[in-house]
Structure 1
Amino acid sequence: MVKKLVLYDQIYNFSSDKERKNLEYRYQKYLGEKVKGFSSTKIIFKKLRKYDNRFEIEINGPEEVFVFNVLKKEIGTTINFEDIREGQIYKGTMIDCGKVGFGIFVDCAIMNPKTDVLLPLHSLRNQLCNGQNKSLSQIISTYDFIDKFPVYIEIKTIDREEKKISGVLTQEILNLFKKCLHENIEGVFISGQSKGQVKKALVKTGHLRDIVSIERFGFLEHIVLLREGTQSPGIISDIGNLLKKSKFSAIRPNRIKDICIGNVHKSGPGED
């Protein structure tokens, strides 16, 4: 029986049919790497949905159940609103950063109906600035949050009548900020390019030696952690010329220290 699913990753950052096809080809190779060794089972790309830029695929072959489960675990899929439960953890990307003052919305691929998860301002204050009464714009500026910034969230409340969901950041994403803070290293978030393209740009500019790791959160979302003493604005300036139309943000521990005055040296960003 053919398995069908809609993948979590969004395909964007193209302005022509040629660029779209190139991205689709590279994404197909990316999926192929996830399930290599099962050549008798085929992944068929049905379409790239226009309203959310996600692929609908079919899986057909003797190992279709295995391949289905691998893709669901490694890539992720869309989720029906009725299946969301409090306490569950999902990955997502920030959207419309700064458009409202009461929090940040996160696209976790929740459908039927399409519902984004709200990270309320009071939770962001508790988790990212030790409970201080900072405005959302201050928090966004300090952490340089932009659209597509990747996070993991835990669902806290679900209003099934109003179709609203709220959540908090998980310890996994908070630990990323803590690592930068405690080790005094900076990071660069890059959206709109595959990991291979990011690495090529780092090699070409001679900056591969300046990085600790490239953390992939999605096909087109990555956070590059830098060696101590390497500054993110310089990296962004150099590789930005090669990664056209990509979006960048800088994770800078000195800014985080400024907003987390008080017990930052003891804890830094923490749980809600």
Structure 2
Amino acid sequence: MVVLATKCYIDGDARERALDSLTSLVANDIGDLDVEYDIGVRDDDFISVTVSGADETVARNVLREEWGEVTPHLSAGETYVGTLEHWDDDGFVLDAGIEVRVPTEELGLGRGSATQIRDRFGLVQHMPLTFVYGGDDEPSRLADEQIDRLYDWTRGSGRVNVNSATRGEVRATVNRAGHAKDIVTVERLGLLEQSIVCRDETDPPGLLASIGSYLPAELKCVIGQ
């Protein structure tokens, strides 16, 4: 079994649609391999995929590479993926199967409190973030590749980040609001966390205001330079 580092935290029909979407994504990842698989949701909302068959080892590795993995034990100095669960002025708290606090000074994202940094980089709750686990002796920190990726966002044309919706739902919402020509693409961050990449001439706060009424979600802007 592989526990993916992404969550399904919505209910009702939206939950069923999200799991249907995930089933399609997993099929794209490992459907060509000689395996059978079953998808479930744990009590902590992380998604588990039970894999069996001749290619099960390859399939598990593909899923780990694509989604990240939640493991029962973390080793100091190793890199993992956790979801952004809480934040305060002193840092972020990531859920990686256990709560991992990343102090503000270990975020590597410039000046300000952790709350200000979250706003500046458009980080929505439950977004997967890659971190280096510090263990008992050292503080945990965001991984260098994660820091680079977030800084790249601020150097682009701007983004609107969204949670609680699948990539297909976000694309449909942008189209319904009449903004299909105002975006480049919708990047998948997790199952229910997406990043709408704006065109150079598109104003991210304006796009957020336009689509916000269609999405029962948290939306945050990234203002490009």
2:6 maps to which residue?
9
Match of 2:213 among 223, 233, 241: 241
1:31 maps to which residue?
26
Corresponding position: 1:57 with 2:70: no
TM-score (norm 2): 0.85
5+ residue gaps in structure 2? none
Seen in structure 2, the aligned counterparts of structure 1 residues 159 and 246 have a Cα distance that, compared at 3 Å, is: same
The structural deviation recorded for 1:225 is 2.1
Distance 1:22 1:138 in 2: 33
Larger radius of gyration: 1
SS of structure 2 residue aligned to 1:238: helix
Seen in structure 2, the aligned counterparts of structure 1 residues 180 and 24 have a Cα distance that, compared at 3 Å, is: closer
The one-letter code matched in structure 1 to 2:87 is C
Distance 2:62 2:4 in 1: 12
The one-letter code matched in structure 1 to 2:217 is S
2:103 maps to which residue?
120
The structural deviation recorded for 1:7 is 2.5
Match of 1:84 among 75, 82, 98: 75
Seen in structure 2, the aligned counterparts of structure 1 residues 193 and 159 have a Cα distance that, compared at 3 Å, is: same
Distance 1:249 1:204 in 2: 20
Seen in structure 2, the aligned counterparts of structure 1 residues 242 and 217 have a Cα distance that, compared at 3 Å, is: same
The structural deviation recorded for 1:90 is 2.2
Distance 2:191 2:115 in 1: 28
TM-score (norm 1): 0.72
Seen in structure 2, the aligned counterparts of structure 1 residues 68 and 122 have a Cα distance that, compared at 3 Å, is: closer
Are the counterparts in 2 of residues 149 and 189 from structure 1 also a CA contact under 8 Å?
no
Distance 1:97 1:56 in 2: 26
Distance 1:55 1:128 in 2: 29
Corresponding position: 1:41 with 2:35: yes
The structural deviation recorded for 1:224 is 1.9
Runs of 4 or more consecutive aligned structure 1 residues displaced over 4 Å after TM superposition = none
The one-letter code matched in structure 2 to 1:128 is L
| RMSD over equivalenced CA pairs, Å | 2.5
Corresponding position: 1:72 with 2:64: yes
Corresponding position: 1:232 with 2:204: yes
The one-letter code matched in structure 2 to 1:70 is V
Distance 1:154 1:234 in 2: 36
Are the counterparts in 2 of residues 205 and 239 from structure 1 also a CA contact under 8 Å?
yes
Distance 2:197 2:178 in 1: 15
The structural deviation recorded for 1:222 is 1.7
The structural deviation recorded for 1:144 is 4.3
Equivalenced residues, count = 225
5+ residue gaps in structure 1? 255-272
Seen in structure 2, the aligned counterparts of structure 1 residues 177 and 43 have a Cα distance that, compared at 3 Å, is: closer
The structural deviation recorded for 1:92 is 2.5
